[in-house]
Structure 1
Amino acid sequence: MGGRITREAGTQIPSGMVFETAEEPLRVASELSLVPRLHDMLALAHEELLAMGITQVTNFEGADVRDAYARLHAEGRLRLRAHIGIDVFDLDEAIAQGVRTGDGDDRLTVGPVKLYSDGALGSHTAHLHEDFTGDPGNRGIAVTPFAELTVLVEKAVNAGIAVATHAIGDQANTLVLNAYTPIAEQAHRAGLQLRIEHSQHLQWEDVTRFAQLGVVASMQPIHCTSDYPLSVELLGERDIGHYPWRALIDAGVTVAFGSDAPVEPADPLFGVHAAVTRTRRDGDPEGGREPEQRVTVAEALRGFTREPAVAAGMGDHAGRLAPGYFADFIALDQDPFTIDPASIWQITVAATAVAGEIVFTRS
C-alpha cells in the first residue's frame, strides 16, 4: 500500500508529517481509548444526523465501528439505517467468515469493501495523469498498486462483496475503471454495485466508461465548492472534468451524493445547495464554478435520496416514497423547488421519520 513518512531535510528525524497508509498505526493507537464508549458516541451523533434529515448512513470506519453499530442495534438504540462497509484490511477475514454485502436486516446491513486508489488533493497525493501544477514530477500516489487493486476487486466480487474504491485524481479514476472492467458484468449479474468514491477529477472519456460499465459515481457536491481555490491552484487549466455531475448524469451514470463527513459538514441541504449552485454558502465564486456542470433541484434531491439507495444495493425498497418502500421521510420548513437556490442551505428540517416513526421534531 502507498504512503510515506517525511523527515527533516538531511536527517533521519521525522518531520511530523505522514501521508496516506503511513498514518494507519497512529490512527489505530489514537482510537483505542474510544472503543469502550464508541456505541454511546455513535448514538449521540445519530441524533444530530436525524436532526439534519438523514435517515441512512454508509460508514467505512472498520471493525470497531461495525461492532459498535451491532451493539446499538442489539440494544434497540439504532434509530437510523446503517450500511457498514468492510475495511480492506478485514477483507480476508470477512470472506473466511462468509460475510456478504447485504447481510443483516432492514436496519443494519453489510456494505461494500472500501479500497483506495490514491490520496487527496491538498496533500498532493491524488493520482494524476499530469504533474501537479507547480510541482514538477509529482503525479501523486497510487495507494494500492494497480495489479493489487485488480486482485482485490476480483476477490471481493467472487466472494459476494460489493466494491467501493476511493479515487480523486483523474489517473486514479482511470485505473479503477480499468480494474473494474473485467469483473463488471459478473458483479452486475450478482447484484453487486461497483462504486467509485469521490470521482472528483475525470478524463472526459472516462465519463462514458462509468456509464458503459454501470459504475456508480459516489460524489460529494460540497467538495466542489470547498476545494475550489485549491483545485484551481494545483490542477490549473487542464482539460478534464472537475466534479462533472452534469456530464455524468447526462451520460446515464448513477450519481449518488453524500457528504464525506466528518471531512465536510454532514447536512444534506448544504450538499443540495452546492450541487445546484456550485458556489460556497457565501456565494463565491460568483456564478458558480464551471456552472455548466450544475444540476437541477430535482436531480440534487434524487442524488441524496434515490441514488444512494441504488448505490447501497437497496434501490428496490429504499430511497423513494412509494408502496413497498421504507417509510423514511422528512418535513422541511421551506420548499426547495420555489426558494432562491442560493438560500437552499438555510432550509430547516422540521421533522424526520424512519420506518414510519417520527424520530425527530424541531420544537
Structure 2
Amino acid sequence: MLLIKNANVITLSPTRPRAEAILIEDGRIKAVGSMAEVSLLAPKSAELLDLQGKTVLPGFTECHMHPILYAFFLLNLDLNGMRSMQELLGCMRSKAAEAAPDQWLMGLRFNEEGITEQRLPTMAELDAAAPQHPTLVLRYCGHLAIANSPALALAGISHDTPNPHGGEIERDSSGKLTGVLRETAISLVTDQIPPPDFEAFMQAGERTFAQLASYGITSVHGILQTSDAGPSGKLGYLEISALKALHDKIPQRLNLMIMATEASQIEELRASELHDPAPDSMCKVGPWKIICDGSLGGHSAVMFKPYSDAPNMTGIKLWTDDELERMIREAHFKGMQLAVHCIGDRMLHIVLEILAKAIADSPPRDHRHRIEHASVAPPELVRRAKELGLIMSVQPPFIYSERSWVHKRLGERISSLYPFHSFLEEGLTMCGGSDAPVESAEPLLGIYSAVNRLGVAPEQAISIEDAIRMYTTHAAYAAFEESVKGTIETGKLADLVVLSGDPLSTPPERLRDLSVEMTLVGGKVIFSR
C-alpha cells in the first residue's frame, strides 16, 4: 500500500471536493479523506509519501495527439523558434552541411507568423539553402508544406501534375510550381522519405512518453493511421507496428483513435494485442477517427465564406460528402464511437447534418460521438451539436499559438472561434487535448489558454475548474471511463498528478507558473521532479 499524506487533494468529486490523504492498494484508491480518517485504514507497513502541502489532482488525459508522429518529429528539425527568414535558411544550410549527399532534410513546426517577414520560404530559397538535398518544411499546423526542387522531382511533381483529391499543388499565375503543398498533396513528397532508423525511433518514442509523463499526463487518446490516408503519408502504414514495438515501454494508459476508411480495419485491431477492454486496461482501441478538412493556418479549413486575408480561398474538403456519409453511417450502425475532425464552420455543418441523419435512422444509444477541434462554431451549430448529444474535443493551446494572427484570418467570425464558454453554457461535454506534435502537449498550457484567452474572443473564457475538468472528468467521459477515471474517489484508478500549487487559488495569469512535481499511474510514480 501507498499512503499519500499532507496533501491538498482536489478530488473533483461533488461528494467530497477536498481531502488531505489518499490510500492506494493494487493500483486503485482504497480511501480518500482527512489524515485522521485515512491513517486509520493504513497498515504500518504502508509506504509513505509526504507531499508537504502540494496539490493532488486526478491525472491529466491528453485527448487528442499523434504519438508516433510526435516521436518522428523529435528526429527532425524543430523550426518553431525561428524569428527571421535568415535564421530559418541558415538553419537549413547548417543541417545540409552536416548531412550526407542526397539525404532528406525535414524542418517541422514552422510558423511564418512568428518571423519578421511573416511569409513562407520560397522554393528558390530552399533550393539555395540545400541544393543537393531534398527538403521539406512543414508548417506547424501540419496542413501546409514547402518543398524544394529536388524533393518535388523525387515525388514526380511537375507543372502539369494534377491536384490529388483533397489536396492542392500550388502554382503561380504563370502556372509554375511554387513549392507550396496543401493537405493530401503533402503526402506526395513525404511518401518518398525513408522510414527512420529503428533504434533511433525507439529512443524517440520513449522520450515522447517520458515528456508526456513530465506534463502530468496519465492517459492518452492517441491517433494512429492504418494507411497512407493521414498526415504521416505512407509512413502511416508503420504506425500500428511502431506502437506495438513501443507498447511495453509506455507508462500511460492509451485510448487509440484509429484513422481508417473501413470498419473492418478497426475490428481487426480490436482483435489484436492492442485492445484490452478491462477497466484498468493500459491500451484499448477506441473511436474511428476521420479528418474532414484542413487548418485555419493553411487556409484549408472549410468555411462558408472566404478567409478575410485570402478572399479566393474557402478551404479544402478531404472527402466527398458521399464518402464521408458512408464512413459515418458505417461507424454509427456498427456501434462504434466517432471522432470527426472539423475546423471550419461549413465542414462542421456538413458533418452535423450527416450525423443527424445517421442518429435518426438508428435506435437510440449512448454513442458519445466526438467532434475533434470544433474550431469555428457559430451559435446555431453549437445548439445543433447539443441536440445530437455530441462531445466537443477541443485544443486550447491553439489559442496561445494563433493569438497573433487568427484575427486577420477570420475577421468578425472571431467571436465563434473556440467557443468554450458557449459549449458549456449549452450543456455540451468538452474534453481537452493539444494536437501534439502540432502544439505543446502540456495540459497546464491548455488550462492557462482556456481561462485567459489572450485576446482571442475573451467572452469565451471559462473558469479554472471547468478548464481542469476538460483534462480529467470530461476526458474520462469522452472515453467511456468515468467509472474508473476523472475524479479521486474510492475504487477508482490511482492515476494522479501532483502540482506545486493549488490551481483553483492561483491567479489566472499565473497558472503557467505552476509545475508538475510528480505523476502516478496505478499508484506507481512515472515522473518525479
Work out whether the TM-score is over 0.5. yes
The TM-score, its normalising length taken from structure 1, stands at: 0.89
Query: Deviation string for 1:96-124 (max 9, x for gaps)?
Result: 63748994241011121221221111111
Partner residue of 1:67 out of 241, 244, 263: 241
- Number of the residue aligned with 1:303: 470
Contact in 1 for aligned 2:452/2:508 (Cα 8 Å): yes
Offset, 1:263? 0.9
Q: How does 1:1-363 map to 2 (within 5 A)?
A: 1-11=165-175, 13-30=176-193, 32-34=195-197, 37-63=200-226, 64-73=238-247, 76-89=248-261, 91-94=262-265, 97=268, 99=270, 103-105=275-277, 106-184=281-359, 189=364, 191-238=366-413, 241-279=416-454, 288-362=455-529
Sequence identity of aligned pairs in percent?
Answer: 29
Structure ranking higher in helix proportion: 1
SS at match of 2:307: coil
Counterpart residue identity of residue 227, structure 1: E
Change (3 A) 1:31 1:330: farther
Contact in 2 for aligned 1:4/1:20 (Cα 8 Å): yes
Counterpart residue identity of residue 124, structure 1: H
Query: Deviation string for 1:57-77 (max 9, x for gaps)?
Result: 12213243333222333xx32
Offset, 1:38? 3.7
Contact in 2 for aligned 1:60/1:86 (Cα 8 Å): yes
Contact in 1 for aligned 2:258/2:266 (Cα 8 Å): no
**Ranges of 4+ aligned residues in structure 1 off by more than 4 Å:** 34-37, 185-191
Offset, 1:185? 6.2
Offset, 1:39? 3.9
Change (3 A) 1:32 1:159: farther
SS at match of 1:278: helix
Contact in 2 for aligned 1:203/1:241 (Cα 8 Å): yes
SS at match of 2:310: coil
Name the stretch that deviates more: 96-105 or 336-345: 96-105
Contact in 1 for aligned 2:269/2:275 (Cα 8 Å): no
- Number of the residue aligned with 1:284: none
C-alpha distance in 2 between matches for 1:352 and 1:77: 16
Contact in 2 for aligned 1:100/1:159 (Cα 8 Å): no
- Structure 1 unmatched ranges of 5 or more: 280-287
Q: Larger relative CO (CA 8 A, sep 6+): 1 or 2?
A: 2
Supply the RMSD in Å over aligned alpha carbons: 2.4
Counterpart residue identity of residue 334, structure 2: A
C-alpha distance in 2 between matches for 1:335 and 1:308: 21
Change (3 A) 1:100 1:143: farther
Larger Rg: 2
C-alpha distance in 2 between matches for 1:265 and 1:239: 23
Aligned length: 350
Contact in 2 for aligned 1:66/1:84 (Cα 8 Å): no
